Amino acid sequence: MKAVFVHLSDIHFGQEKDGGTGAENADAKRRLIEDARAEVSKLDGKVHGVILTGDISYSGKPDEYTSAAQWLARLTDAIGCERTDIQMVPGNHDIDRAKITNAIDSILFSIREGGDEWLDRHLDNATDCQVLYERFDAYKGFALDYRCELDLNGDISMSATLELAPGRAIRFVRLNSALICSSRKEDGKLILGARQRLLPLEEGVEIVVLSHHPLSSFQDSEKARGYLRGRARVFISGHEHFPNLEIVDVEDGCQLMMLAAGATSPDQIDDKYTYKYNILTFEYDEASDALAVSVNPRTWDGSMARFRRDDEFMGGRQERQLLGSPNFRAAPKPSNVERVPAAPVALVEEPLTAVTGQAAADGPVGDAAIEAPDTADIDAVEAGALQNMRDLQLRFFQDLSQSERLTAFMDFSVVTQIRGKLDHAMERRLFRRAFRQVGVARIEEFLNAAKSQKGEIKA
């Protein structure tokens, strides 16, 4: 099976400083959707989604993510995948820098100076750890809608496996390379930390690592490089706004692809920097028992005001790169693997501990009661029902303000009283409870009524 992804980086929603720049960027984004639709239609593989390697917003503000969500909905509709089929990691612009107080800046400085030991010291302290992640508040909610939750203790987050053939799969590993970013330029001083360097190792599964920053941005880059060389097959990064492709011969029968993305919407357009994105295809090569990755680099052609293939980027390389895959070879060959039917799915009820009334008997426990992954209460619903829930959840959180969402929860009787502030994860658990209790039609009725009311007000 071929798995096709549209790869974007550094989209920078909210960066426009004047109307002319905003109009040019909006036009390029529309042309990108048209180009992606045309290019994926030429492929025989299924479009599995979109990869975003950070800097989705420019200032980490909620309205910037609202704009990003609306554009991503148009893109995913155009290329033929579900709106929630997105893999993403945060970048330095996905931090709300207004939340970097002198105290937080001092913590970040101490970590950069103290290295792994000081990073772990702060991550192991619940209060310090919460402070580190407050800068990502808007991003956290946005990422949860796409099942790309941040690990809130300095660890990696991962996708489910994507099977390319029986017994042969890829998995996306998502790094938060911006964890100790401040408001200064810090290339070469950032730290991934041991929790993010320790990449998983699975027989039959090759991993694709997503990071906003390239390895050169980290103090612990050599330690991270060792795990990449020994365990990963592809490393995709952004940040530098200039694309690059390198195939590293790690050892006999083992290659690592290092793909640096250009910016989808760079800070400036000139002879070096312009609008760029990629179309990536992952497939299993049976003859060599290896992962094959095809790269179709797309760049803006100013002479025609449209996207074209970036032949200079490929530098004479073949579009399809075969990567020696020891993790595949460690497992039985596909012909010897017996396929096991997928288990049926069901939504699993979760206890709620941050609200009163019907939702929980224990009463409120504070502002950040639950930080569990968004998928913790979903084991297995029928695929159609599960996707229906995800699509509806996307609309619910993108179309309604927080006060409107709280009104909905009360209207749906999933709570009778709310005390304190609900975090992103808690709101999403309440939504899933509403989905089970009142159903699709009732939630859609509320959304349509809210939309109609806003239209009447504007008129």
Q: Is the pLDDT of residue 41 over 90?
A: yes
The top-scoring range by mean pLDDT among 69-83, 374-388, 437-451 is 69-83
- Name, in order, each residue with C-beta under 8 angstroms of 216's C-beta and a sequence gap of 6 or more: 187, 188
Q: Measure Cα distances from 304 to 28, 299, 307, 308, 309 in Å.
A: 12, 12, 8, 9, 13
Q: Looking at the chain, which residues constitute the CATH 3.60.21.10 domain(s)?
A: 2-336
Q: Is the pLDDT of residue 367 over 70?
A: no
Strands 244-251 and 232-237: unpaired
Decide: 291 and 323 in contact? Cβ < 8 Å.
yes
Q: Check residues 380 and 210 and name the one with the higher pLDDT.
A: 210
Q: Output the six-digit token pair for 254.
A: 């083992």
Decide: 218 and 210 in contact? Cβ < 8 Å.
no
Name the band, by pLDDT with cuts 50, 70 and 90, for residue 347.
very low
Is the torsion defined by CA of 243, 245, 248, 254 positive or negative? positive
Among 38-42, 300-304, 359-363, the range scoring the smallest mean pLDDT is: 359-363
Spatial CA neighbour of 54 closest among 265, 245, 307: 265
Q: Which residues of 154-163 are buried (b: 16+ CB within 10 A; e: fewer)?
A: bbbbebebbb
Q: Check residues 343 and 174 and name the one with the higher pLDDT.
A: 174
Among 54-63, 332-341, 360-369, 447-456, the range scoring the smallest mean pLDDT is: 360-369
Strands (DSSP E) found in 302-450: 306-309, 320-323
CA 176 to chain centre: 10
Decide: 336 and 310 in contact? Cβ < 8 Å.
no
The predicted pLDDT at position 351 comes to 37
The predicted pLDDT at position 20 comes to 79
Q: Whole-model pTM?
A: 0.83
Kindly report the CATH number that applies to the domain delimited by 2-336: 3.60.21.10
Proportion of the chain in helix, strand, coil states, percent, rounded to 5 = 40, 20, 40
Share of the chain above pLDDT 70, in %: 88
Residue with tokens 């409120």: 364
Cα(364)–Cα(382) distance, rounded to whole angstroms? 33
Name the band, by pLDDT with cuts 50, 70 and 90, for residue 340.
low
- Compute the average pLDDT of residues 291-318: 93
The predicted pLDDT at position 338 comes to 57
Spatial CA neighbour of 225 closest among 240, 235, 210: 235
Q: Is the pLDDT of residue 358 over 50?
A: no
Q: Is the pLDDT of residue 337 over 80?
A: no
Tell me the pLDDT tens digit for each residue of 224-271. Answer: 999 999 999 999 999 988 899 999 999 999 999 999 999 999 887 877
- Compute the average pLDDT of residues 37-46: 91
Share of the chain above pLDDT 90, in %: 61
Q: Is the pLDDT of residue 436 over 90?
A: no
The predicted pLDDT at position 365 comes to 30
Decide: 123 and 151 in contact? Cβ < 8 Å.
no
Name the band, by pLDDT with cuts 50, 70 and 90, for residue 188.
confident
Give the up-direction half-sphere exposure of residue 444: CA atoms within 13 A in the CB hemisphere. Answer: 7
Q: Is the pLDDT of residue 374 over 50?
A: no
The predicted pLDDT at position 345 comes to 36
Tell me the pLDDT tens digit for each residue of 389-422. Answer: 888 888 888 788 888 888 899 899 888 777 777 7
Q: Is the pLDDT of residue 114 over 90?
A: yes
Q: Is the pLDDT of residue 457 over 70?
A: no
Angle at 68 between CA 35 and CA 455, to 5 degrees: 110
Q: Output the six-digit token pair for 50.
A: 């979109």
Cα(142)–Cα(149) distance, rounded to whole angstroms? 9
Q: Is the pLDDT of residue 341 over 70?
A: no
Average pLDDT score over the chain: 85
